[in-house]
Amino acid sequence: MKTFRHWISACTLSALCTVLPAQTKMPAPWQSSLVKISKSGELVYIPDEEGNVIPDFSRVGYHHGNQSIPQHSVTRIISPVEGDNWAHIQQAVDEISQLPADQNGHRGVLLLKRGLYPVSQSVVIKAGGVVLKGEGSNVDETRLIATAKRKYALIKISGAGIREEISGTRVSITDKFVPVGTHSFQVSCGEGFKSGDKIVVYRPGTQKWVHDIKMDQIEERKGTRQWTPQEYNLAFEREVTRVEGNRLFIDNPVVMQMDWKYGGGDVYKYKFDGRINEVGVSDLCLESEFDDYEDTQHGWIGVQIEKAENCWVDNVTARYFGYAAVSCERFAKNVTVRNCRNLEPKAVITGGLRYSFNNIGQQNLFMNCQSTEGRHDYITGSQVCGPNVFYNCTATQTYADIGPHHRWAVGTLYDNIVTDGDINVQDRGKMGSGHGWAGVTQVLWNCHVGRAAVQSPWASGKNYSIGTKGERYPGVFTDRPDGVWEGHNETNVFPRSLYVTQLMARQKADLSLLIK
């Protein structure tokens, strides 16, 4: 059987192992049969009967993980003023937004000195290269408080415009079947493409596909919507890395099968002129005033990101918001959210509320985050185009489940997630307004859960539970196909983290190419 391989150095292997005193006895390392590290240091992917492999999730977050989050010098400093500080902060943000960008797209850093900043409206960053920074994320450091009695984001990062197909560039994918995990495919004509082109890999929704996954047969109840094909025209943003005749090679892998019987796929170039980049928010404590535990008219989101790429949110604590600490919207791409906390949200414990770290964008990374009292703490929404990663995050005092929430998220890794609640990947059927299948190519790796359900859809791929520790249960609807389960309750999963291992292997491979 053909396998896919990446090399990992000896020092990388040692970094992936837990260092223990010599006298400590641990069970032998357990490895998955689907992706493993060989004795010679190769990261090996083993295809299934259709050629699908667990994909490489390492090209997510700020600049695909190829660059560290930058540390720029401060451009301007402000301190709190009496009363509402919205105009005070917004004016400083707007002034920095007018500065010329340097060769890396950076304009300037606004430092908010330690103190209390009541804010009645969204602080909006709508130009690239602006960084908003405080002096720490504790309540006695730089603390912004949402004071208005309505739902709003305290900080909003938002570009403009829409993603547009470049006319005349669309070609068909001619392979009859493109498996999950591949980085290349044949197209009808490769002449118009070159390395560096930004493209969309387009996978159409078809009635046959909707029918085969039984999403036109959802049990009816009040408000149920059967799925329609046009809702599931999925657009995966990629970059061409090289062209060989009519074969295109892409940076991020295919994360959902493309099959001629379901309409195959297309490729086209795109532009997104209004999308901004190089925006950062860090070292802040964000809070919302509230009237009572179930208040739904107050600060709603700590940091909201839309129409932006290669941005970051780092070391931010959000307290008492109704919806989320950080929410990456549909056109948020290559965002890193790290070292952030969502604590003590205030809202009714019901649908559409308390989504602690929310993502419907693509190629985003959430790492080292914490949440308390959320409903869906690390969550994707509908028609989410991956890859996306949640890594090394915790959730306590949970009221619902972590995972893809509804209507088909594609290509998500939940890696080393620890929760006292559920992680579920399942057909949600008639739940909500007919949520149906939550997603495909959803991978749980070395997670600790109260319990987990992992099902695979009737068509178009699989979902995986690798090394999950906790109760295994069949899901809300127990007659659905089971997902792929390996290493349930294994105590010494190796490698510990799939994301970290893939990132190290790729970085070593990239370095080897540079040396050559």
Mean pLDDT of the chain: 94
Residue-wise pLDDT tens digits, 272-330: 999 999 999 999 999 999 999 999 999 999 999 999 999 999 999 999 999 999 999 99
Residue-wise pLDDT tens digits, 470-513: 999 999 999 999 999 999 999 999 999 999 999 999 988 776 55
Determine the average pLDDT of the residues in 460-467: 98
Q: How distant is the alpha carbon of residue 119 from its chain centre?
A: 29
The model carries a pTM of: 0.95
CA dist 443 → 34, 114, 125, 134, 330 (Å): 12, 41, 34, 35, 21
* Residue 71, C-beta contacts closer than 8 angstroms, at least 6 positions apart: none
Among 435, 433, 480, CA closest to 453: 480
Bridge partner residues of 304 (DSSP): 156, 327
* Residue 328, C-beta contacts closer than 8 angstroms, at least 6 positions apart: 305, 335, 337, 358, 359, 360, 361, 364
Beta strand 258-259 with 108-112 is unpaired
pLDDT at position 10, please?
38
* Cβ(371)–Cβ(356) below 8 Å: yes
Residue-wise pLDDT tens digits, 407-444: 999 999 999 999 999 999 999 999 988 899 999 999 99
Among 444, 442, 459, 455, CA closest to 481: 455
Q: Which of 193-197, 222-226, 417-421 has the lowest mean pLDDT?
A: 222-226
Among 465, 364, 507, CA closest to 12: 507
DSSP state of 455: B
Strands (E), 130-179: 130-133, 142-146, 152-158, 164-165, 171-172, 177-178
Residue 103 scores a pLDDT above 70: yes
Among 379, 400, 293, CA closest to 337: 379
pLDDT at position 25, please?
73
d(CA 368, CA 217): 40
**What are 242's two structure tokens?**
């090289």
Beta strand 247-250 with 234-244 is antiparallel
Return residue ranges of the chain for CATH 2.40.30: 164-271
Q: How distant is the alpha carbon of residue 173 from its chain centre?
A: 26
Determine the average pLDDT of the residues in 78-96: 98
Residue 16 scores a pLDDT above 80: no
Residue 3 scores a pLDDT above 70: no
Q: What is the end-to-end Cα distance of the chain in Å, rounded?
A: 29
The CATH number of 164-271 is 2.40.30
Residue 339 scores a pLDDT above 60: yes
